């Protein structure tokens, strides 16, 4: 059989594998089993059960040498929390933010708008309780809660209140630090509660915040396996399977790990020019801890590219975040052209998902997300992140596109490494430096 015949046969196998996924019930069944667990918080029993489920799904999909790799981490356990406005003795529903310490704080409420550094600088937050929205001003980059919290605390805030911009009485959650206890108590409140708090802040009213929580040594695990040949180079395909404890984590990131399982099923049925390492990582929501551990264990020189599926499968159209890599962006664009399926490519980097430990080390990466048409997380990180929000057609289609992208990257002759000085310049150009320093994320090597 000549090269043309081999290529034609492999294309036929890929087409057949893609066709089977089009009507496959397994992605929905896997997502159902995963979300039925409930709490998948990093270090919890639910996360451990989810890891076992992912390992079984990998094996069923044709992934070889599947194993669970345990690692130590700092487990955070949520207790009760309460925010009371003293003028009216009125309490608001709150959700403590992961790695908030236990404690009490009393101070005047001060609204800092979107919580950007400029807005915090415009207010005197010293000794006060800073109140900031989950969203950011139109036209600018998305400012992460860790940046808002860190900058406000550095400016002297006694506590931090994170106000959802999505209506529906949904207080948001989200980690304050990467894997360690934060310096001040913090909670999330609903948009409706935030409207009242803004009014109280305008009147200079004091509030009292109480948080009951605990950070203790714990254990999590990554699930890893292999597809394709054993080659000097390999592609890493990963997604996190953990979730916040206040919901089922269907969108974030049940959809993402379902995409990876389904893409692996497709890739197991075709010949690949390089090996693919497949991973489900733990503790993304509480500090990218699983990805950091994986990055420590893998030989970066062998990694041709990283495909991180965090956000794919949630909404209709796929977004490929290339994190300054022109080669991974070009591969995504080729897949979009060949399939006549829109894939929005973005080259701007960010440090808030599992590609970060690899990008920081110079490994080309792409994060697969999806476009909701709105700014922010939507139902994510709230009680409403439940299975009924999922359209599994998106999961199946994005799994097909993910498999095609992995194969495209595997077949790409050269994918240049990321240079540290160019990465630092790109983060500075995107106005990330101030916020990353506030969140203790700016690499010392970039000084």
Tokens of 60: 């069923």
> Quick one: 68 and 163 in the same domain?
no
Among residues 216, 251, 285, the one where a domain terminates is 216
| Residues 154 and 189 grouped into a single domain | yes
Q: Which two tokens stand for residue 360?
A: 């920081």
Q: Is residue 171 a part of any domain in this protein? A: yes
- Residue 435 forms part of a structural domain: no
Spatial separation of the C-alpha atoms in residues 408 and 411, rounded to whole Å: 5
Per the domain annotation, does 440 fall within a domain? no
Q: How far apart are CA 182 and CA 191, in angstroms?
A: 24
Element (H, E) at 109: strand 103-111
Contact 267, 228 (CB under 8 A): yes
- Of 181, 193, 102, 171, nearest in space to 149 by CA: 181
7: confidence class by pLDDT, cuts 50, 70, 90: low
50 and 174 share one domain:
no
pLDDT, tens only, 403-443: 999 999 999 999 999 999 999 999 999 999 999 999 999 99
Cα–Cα distance, 323 to 328 (Å, whole number): 9
Clarify whether residues 393 and 306 are in a common domain. yes
- Reported as a single tens digit per residue, the pLDDT across 9-62 is 677 899 999 999 999 999 999 999 999 999 999 999 999 999 999 999 999 999
CA gap 230, 365 in Å, rounded: 21
Contact 415, 322 (CB under 8 A): no
Confidence of residue 3 (pLDDT cuts 50, 70, 90): low
85 & 69 share domain: no
Specify whether 49 is located in the same domain as 123.
no
Residue 172 in any domain: the answer is yes
Q: How many residues comprise the chain?
A: 447
Q: How many CB atoms lie within 10 A of CB 395?
A: 26
- Average pLDDT of the chain? 95
Residue 437 lies in a domain: no
What's the mean pLDDT in 296-302?
97
User: Are 157 and 197 found together in one domain?
Assistant: yes
Whether residues 239 and 284 fall in one domain? yes
159 close to 107: Cβ distance less than 8 angstroms: yes
Q: Is residue 285 located within the same domain as residue 385?
A: yes
Residue 128 located in a structural domain: yes
- The pLDDT tens digits of the residues spanning 114-165 come to 999 999 999 999 999 999 999 988 888 889 999 999 999 999 999 999 999 9
Q: What is the pLDDT of residues 239-282, one digit of tens each?
A: 999 999 999 999 999 999 999 999 999 999 999 999 999 999 99
Do 382 and 166 contact (CB within 8 A), yes or no? Answer: yes
Q: Within this chain, do residues 206 and 292 fall inside the same structural domain, yes or no?
A: no
Minimal CA–CA distance to 26: which of 261, 205, 242? 261
**Residue 442 within a domain:** no
- Cα–Cα nearest to 343, from 304, 382, 397: 397
Q: 67 is in which domain, residue-wise?
A: 3-74+218-429
- Asked if residue 132 and residue 227 are part of one domain, the reply reads no
Instruction: Average the pLDDT over 349-377 and give the result.
Output: 93
**CA 323/CA 336 separation, integer angstroms:** 18
| Structural domain contains residue 447 | no
Question: Which is nearest to 366 in space by CA: 232, 179, 241, 239?
Answer: 239
pTM of the model: 0.96
- CB-based contact 131:201 (threshold 8 Å): yes
What are the phi and psi torsion angles at 377 (to 5°)? -90, -10
Query: In 298-432, where does DSSP find H-type helix?
Result: 326-339, 356-359, 392-411, 420-429
For the cut 80, the answer to whether the pLDDT of residue 336 exceeds it is yes
Closest CA to 192 of 91, 92, 89: 92
pLDDT at 2: 55
| Cα–Cα distance for residue pair 141/430, rounded to 1 Å | 7
CATH of the domain at 147: 3.50.30.30
Last residue of a domain, one of 199, 216, 233: 216
Q: Among residues 216, 244, 270, which one ends one of the domains?
A: 216
Are 353 and 411 in a shared domain? Answer: yes
Q: How many domains does the chain have?
A: 2
With H, G, I as helix, E, B as strand and everything else as coil, classify residue 387.
helix
Output DSSP code: residue 444.
Answer: G
CATH of residue 18's domain is 3.40.630.10
């Amino acid at each position: 059989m000549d090269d043309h015949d081999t290529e034609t046969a492999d294309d036929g196998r890929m087409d057949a594998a893609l066709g089977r996924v089009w009507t496959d019930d397994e992605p929905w069944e896997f997502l159902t089993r995963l979300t039925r667990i409930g709490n998948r918080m990093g270090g919890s029993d639910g996360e451990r059960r989810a890891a076992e489920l992912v390992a079984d799904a990998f094996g069923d999909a044709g992934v070889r040498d599947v194993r669970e790799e345990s690692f130590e981490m700092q487990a955070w356990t949520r207790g009760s929390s309460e925010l009371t406005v003293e003028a009216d003795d009125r309490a608001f529903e709150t959700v403590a933010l992961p790695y908030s310490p236990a404690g009490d704080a009393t101070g005047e409420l001060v609204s800092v708008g979107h919580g950007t550094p400029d807005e915090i600088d415009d207010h005197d937050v010293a000794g006060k309780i800073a109140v900031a929205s989950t969203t950011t001003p139109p036209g600018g980059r998305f400012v992460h809660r860790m940046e808002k919290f860190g900058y406000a605390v550095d400016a002297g805030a006694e506590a931090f209140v994170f106000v959802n911009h999505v209506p529906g009485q949904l207080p948001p959650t989200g980690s304050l630090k990467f894997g360690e206890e934060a310096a001040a108590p913090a909670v999330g409140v609903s948009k409706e509660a935030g409207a009242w708090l803004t009014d109280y802040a305008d009147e200079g009213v004091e509030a009292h915040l109480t948080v009951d929580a605990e950070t203790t040594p714990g254990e999590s695990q990554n699930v890893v396996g292999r597809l394709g040949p054993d080659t000097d180079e390999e592609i890493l395909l990963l997604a996190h399977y953990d979730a916040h404890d206040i919901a089922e984590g269907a969108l974030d990131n049940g959809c993402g790990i379902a995409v990876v399982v389904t893409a692996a099923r497709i890739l197991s049925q075709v010949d690949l020019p390089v090996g693919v390492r497949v991973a489900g990582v733990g503790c993304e929501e509480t500090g990218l801890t699983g990805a950091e551990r994986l990055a420590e264990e893998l030989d970066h020189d062998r990694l041709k590219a990283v495909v991180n599926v965090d956000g794919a499968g949630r909404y209709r159209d796929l977004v490929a975040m290339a994190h300054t890599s022109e080669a991974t962006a070009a591969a995504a664009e080729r897949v979009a052209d060949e399939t006549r399926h829109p894939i929005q490519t973005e080259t701007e980097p960010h440090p808030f998902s599992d590609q970060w430990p690899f990008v920081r080390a110079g490994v080309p990466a792409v994060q697969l997300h999806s476009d909701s048409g709105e700014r922010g997380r939507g139902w994510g990180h709230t009680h409403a992140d439940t299975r009924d929000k999922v359209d599994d057609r998106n999961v199946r289609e994005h799994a097909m596109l993910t498999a095609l992208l992995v194969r495209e990257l595997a077949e790409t002759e050269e994918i240049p490494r990321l240079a540290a000085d160019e990465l630092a310049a790109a983060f500075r150009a995107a106005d990330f430096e101030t916020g990353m320093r506030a969140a203790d994320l700016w690499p010392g090597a970039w000084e």
